[in-house]
């Protein structure tokens, strides 16, 4: 695949994400938890969801490197190269605790930028996906009792909003509301906050339900890439702590991110 074909990926990966979500939901409410080497939790749902997604990506685009959380290594990433970033179960803590804020994340990176993204929240039957670099859509898969067919789904256009005059609505991490985030909120005209887990926070901005998402604690590239792509296609942006676009393929950092702020309408562009 010399260039990302959004339509092809969207058609194929919508069904793939639905299957991965079905695997995850088969464990929901009955989870056995293990700890990884870094003491973060992992479950069979993480691993089985990953197997579904990685197998499909390998079949769809065999020449493109796949980097997925549960089997991640740090490969050599050449400038301008393409690679997939996969988080098969983003929000494992929410999943374990019985909250429905976890997602399946799939992104394609090119030139250090997420150019395709899919975020699926199986407990809420909600999917967000890019159809081009400037178009993102969402759908409710609630009524689907079987694997979805892309053309039979009712899709809704996504778009960021102009912040309301009463102030910004901030999406914040339920589990990671640290002092730096509190300081950011106090320094901006925040009228309300929405707490949540996983990459759903990017999607709240893409839907026009929130305006900003500050995150200064550690995240990995597979945590953010899919939501970043959806938000960017809906008119938003994600900037690092220096005010530059958040980049991907940071092998010198072990693929972790610096602090960042996701904006619906970026201050530098109005």
Asked if 87 contacts 226 with a C-beta cutoff of 8 angstroms, the reply is yes
Given this model, what pLDDT does residue 73 score? 63
74 in the same domain as 27: yes
Q: Look-up: residue for tokens 């550690």? A: 218
| pLDDT tens sequence across 222-269 | 999 999 999 999 999 999 999 999 999 998 888 999 999 999 987 654
Given 157, 188, 213, the domain boundary residue is: 157
Quote the pLDDT of residue 1: 47
64 pLDDT higher than 70? yes
**Looking at the structure, do residues 175 and 256 belong to the same domain, yes or no?**
yes
Total structural domains in the chain?
2
**Residue 37 falls inside a structural domain:** yes
Residues 6+ apart with CB under 8 A from 244: none
For residues 39 and 37, give the distance between their C-alpha atoms in angstroms, rounded to a whole number.
5
* 25 pLDDT higher than 90: yes
Are residues 239 and 209 part of one domain? yes
Domain boundaries, position 239: 168-263
**254 within some domain:** yes
Q: Is residue 12 part of a domain?
A: yes
More confident residue, 79 or 18: 18
The pLDDT value recorded for residue 93 is 85
Task: Give tens-digit pLDDT for 128-180.
Answer: 999 999 999 999 997 666 889 999 999 999 999 999 999 999 999 876 678 89
């Amino acid at each position: 695949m010399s260039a990302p074909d959004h339509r092809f990926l969207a058609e194929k990966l919508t069904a793939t994400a639905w299957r991965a979500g079905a695997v995850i939901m088969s464990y929901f409410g009955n989870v056995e938890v293990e700890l990884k080497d870094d003491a973060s939790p992992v479950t069979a749902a993480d691993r089985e969801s990953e197997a579904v997604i990685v197998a499909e990506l390998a079949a769809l685009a065999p020449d493109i490197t796949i980097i997925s959380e549960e089997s991640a290594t740090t490969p050599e990433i050449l400038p301008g190269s393409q690679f997939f970033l996969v988080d098969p179960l983003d929000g494992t803590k929410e999943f374990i605790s019985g909250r429905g804020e976890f997602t399946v994340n799939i992104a394609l990176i090119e030139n250090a930028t997420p150019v395709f993204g899919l975020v699926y929240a199986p407990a809420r039957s909600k999917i967000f996906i890019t159809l081009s670099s400037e178009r993102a859509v969402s759908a409710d898969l609630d009524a689907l009792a079987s694997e979805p067919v892309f053309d039979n789904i009712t899709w809704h256009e996504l778009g960021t909003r102009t912040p309301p005059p009463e102030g910004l609505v901030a999406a914040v991490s339920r589990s990671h509301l640290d002092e730096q985030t509190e300081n950011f909120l106090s320094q901006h005209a925040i009228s309300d906050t929405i707490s949540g887990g996983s990459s759903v926070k990017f999607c709240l901005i893409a839907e026009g339900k929130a305006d900003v998402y500050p995150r200064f604690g550690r995240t990995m590239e597979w945590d953010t890439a899919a939501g970043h792509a959806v938000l960017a296609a809906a008119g938003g942006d994600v900037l690092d702590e220096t005010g530059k676009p958040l980049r991907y393929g940071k092998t010198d950092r072990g693929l972790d991110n610096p602090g960042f702020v996701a904006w619906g309408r970026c201050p530098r562009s109005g």
